[in-house]
Amino acid sequence: MLQAGDWAFVVDNLDYLLTGAAVTVGLTLTSLLLGFLLGFPAGAIEVYGDGLAERFVSVGGVVLRGTPIVVIMLVLFFVVSISKSAFVTATVGLGLRSAAYQSQIFRGALQSVDEGQMEAARAVGMSRFEAIRHVVVPQALRRSMPGFQNEFTIVLKDTSIAFAIGLAELLTRGYDLFTQSGRSTAVLEVFVAISAIYFVLTFGTNRALDRLSDYYAIPSGENA
Amino acid sequence: MTLLRVEDVHKSYGDEEVLKGVSFEMDRGDVDVLMGPSGSGKSTMLRCINRLTEIDSGDVWLDGTPVYGPDTDVNELRQDVGMVFQDFNLFAHLTALENVTLGLKRVLGVPEAEATDRAADHLAQVGLAAQTDSYPAELSGGQQQRVGIARALAMEPKLMLFDEPTSALDPELVGEVVEVMRDLAERGMTMLVVSHEMGFARSAADDIHFLDSGRIVESGPPEQLFQRPEHDRTNEFLTGLQSNGH
């Protein structure tokens, strides 16, 4: 049952939870950035590359997409021990996994740009690289927005899996609150509170990304 | 003086031989039209000239340069050959002006301000001075194709290739594009045009090459080909075109 005393407890500890939310936001951003830095080139290699690089990227993607994120994170932290910092480990785990998904978003977006765009760019004398960079990529990035927005939300919510390696993000902090002695009655209130914070974060970023996508949309053309 | 020489060009896609030894020449300032039924190899022939499609054997020479020579830089070669596409292929994310400046800036290294001036001039020349800031999706087909022509012209090519430039247009928009092409022909541009626009061919073409099944069946000035075609195949095709209201 929801009880007034337990709500007061949540309100009293809001700072504590919001600090966790800040870690969640930070981890989301570092993971997405790492995911973009690796995922975008990986997507491009899958479309334009050949031979070993293409093979490497596509096998890596299959492995990462086929492994549960909790397993990836636990292996990185306890088996490989890439870092003593749970934040760094979580960034690498979520970032690699996101790269594997982002590569597919960008692969699809690059492939969706009409072949004629490349031909027209080559016909004025641009090299393949220039044509990709100045003509194909700007259009592909716009088309990748819906998929990227989706990925943003997924990574944001999956930061909670860093709970498994003890990172003090939003979920971990919520858990720590109600496991304090005598506070087990506040479980529901704490979960309602952290769910609300997750909702505000996902809803807010989605609206912001909608705006961004509208801003860069090509006038009266297809929507980004 | 010969600007373009095409010599015994062969091209196959898989088992299907699309070009079976095509040869022709164009002098500077010539306007030639390639006609023929669909699948006869016209567009393939055109694309072999700027190497958007690679030939299997034969030779192509542009202004003394072997197009397929081992030392020929294909990106440099293409600066001399403008191309206009059936589906326009305007860069969808760029305005009309930016479509024209992109090549100037990225390929020729023209500074921004000068590129903008030159592009604006070329757009004015095709009657689009008021549309410089419009995106392709905001323009009619005829306007898009004229931007496509301006984009190619801005590179100051020696030869312009037109690949069915009016086929994707609504009938009422064909005229404005043909007019721009005719104007270009009058100003001495060397043009090789794949098209069934009889009006353009009749009034602007020096020679028409009739292709059928990968071979040039018959070549000659429009009055000869249209009035006294020597081959049955040419006659049949042209009669068909005329009865379709071209």
| Average of per-residue pLDDT across A181-191 | 86
What is the rounded CA–CA span in Å between residue B181 and residue B178?
5
| Average pLDDT along chain A | 94
Residue A46 lies in a domain: yes
CATH of the domain at A21: 1.10.3720.10
* C-alpha angle B175-B181-B187 in degrees, rounded to nearest 5: 135
Residue A222 lies in a domain: no
pLDDT at A223 > cutoff 50: no
What is the rounded CA–CA span in Å between residue B140 and residue B27?
34
Task: Kindly report the number of other CB atoms within 10 A of residue A156's CB atom.
Answer: 22
Among B51, B4, B57, CA closest to B28: B4
Quote the number of domains for chain A.
1
pLDDT at B31 > cutoff 60: yes
Best B50, B89, B139, B159 member to test A by mutation, with max A CBs in 10 Å, is: B89
Containing structural domain, residue A147 = 4-216
pLDDT digits (tens, 9 = 90+) for B108-163: 999 999 999 999 999 999 999 999 999 999 999 999 999 999 999 999 999 999 99
Domain ranges of chain B: 91-156
Residue A16 lies in a domain: yes
pLDDT digits (tens, 9 = 90+) for B173-225: 999 999 999 999 999 999 999 999 988 999 999 999 999 999 999 999 999 98
| Average of per-residue pLDDT across B26-47 | 95
| Average pLDDT along chain B | 95
Question: How far A35 CA lies from chain B's nearest CA (Å)?
Answer: 25
Nearest to A218 among B78, B79, B93 (CB): B93
CATH number of B91-156: 1.20.1580.10
pLDDT digits (tens, 9 = 90+) for A40-64: 999 999 999 988 999 999 999 999 9
Task: Kindly report the number of other CB atoms within 10 A of residue A89's CB atom.
Answer: 24
Whether B91 sits inside 8 A of A121 (CB atoms) is yes
Cβ-based contacts of B102 with chain A (< 8 Å): 121, 124, 134-135
- Quote ipTM for the complex: 0.93
pLDDT digits (tens, 9 = 90+) for B158-185: 999 999 999 999 999 999 999 999 999 9
| In contact, B90 and B151? CB cutoff 8 Å | yes
Determine if the pTM surpasses 0.95: no
Residue B224: CB partners within 8 Å, gap ≥ 6?
none
Residues of A within an 8 Å Cβ radius of B: 114, 116-117, 119-127, 130, 134-135, 138-139, 142, 218-222
Whether A117 sits inside 8 A of B92 (CB atoms) is yes
